[in-house]
Amino acid sequence: MFAYIIKRILATIPVMLVVALFVFLLLRLSPGDPAAVIAGDYASPADIERIRTQLGLSDPIYIQFFRWCGQLLQGDLGISIFSNLPVSQLIAQRLEPTVALASVTLILTILIAVPLGTLAAWKANTWIDRSIMIFAVLGFSMPVFVFGYILIYGFSIQLGWLPVQGYTPLAEGVWPWLRNLILPSIALSAIYIAL
Instruction: Look at residue 54 in the predicted model and tell me its pLDDT.
Output: 80
CB 163 within 8 A of CB 179: yes
pLDDT under 50 in the chain at which residues?
none
Residue 167 DSSP SS3: coil
Beta pairing partners, 79:
86
Structural domain including 24 reads 2-76
Q: Do 51 and 105 fall into the same domain?
A: no
In this structure, the answer to whether residues 100 and 180 fall within a common structural domain is yes
Proportion of the chain in helix, strand, coil states, percent, rounded to 5: 75, 0, 25
In a domain, 14, yes or no: yes
Same domain, 58 and 99: no
0.85 exceeded by pTM: no
Kindly state whether residue 156 falls inside one of the protein's structural domains. Answer: yes
Q: Which of 76, 106, 139 is the last residue of a domain?
A: 76
Q: How many whole angstroms separate alpha carbon 53 and alpha carbon 132?
A: 61
pLDDT at position 106 is 94
- Within this chain, do residues 185 and 102 fall inside the same structural domain, yes or no? yes
Residue 86 located in a structural domain: no
Rounded Cα distance, 132 and 124, in Å: 10
What pLDDT score does 142 carry?
84
Q: What is the predicted pLDDT for the residue at 165?
A: 84
Helix (H, G, I), strand (E, B) or coil at 157: helix
If phi > 0 it is left, if psi is from -120 to 50 it is alpha, else beta; for residue 160 that is left
The answer to whether residue 121 sits within a structural domain is: yes
Sequence letter at residue 184: P
Whether 178 and 104 share a structural domain = yes
What pLDDT is attached to residue 59? 82
Is residue 81 a part of any domain in this protein?
Answer: no
Residue where a domain terminates, one of 76, 108, 139 = 76
Domain identity same for 182 and 109: yes
Bridge partners (DSSP) listed for residue 86: 79
- Residues 54 and 96 placed together within one structural domain of the fold: no
Half-sphere exposure of residue 82: CA atoms within 13 angstroms, side-chain side: 2
- Same domain? 66 vs 18: yes
Looking at the domain assignment, is residue 163 inside a domain? yes
Q: Is residue 96 part of a domain?
A: yes
Do 72 and 157 fall into the same domain? no
Look at the chain and report how many structural domains it folds into. Answer: 2
Q: Kindly state whether residue 85 falls inside one of the protein's structural domains.
A: no
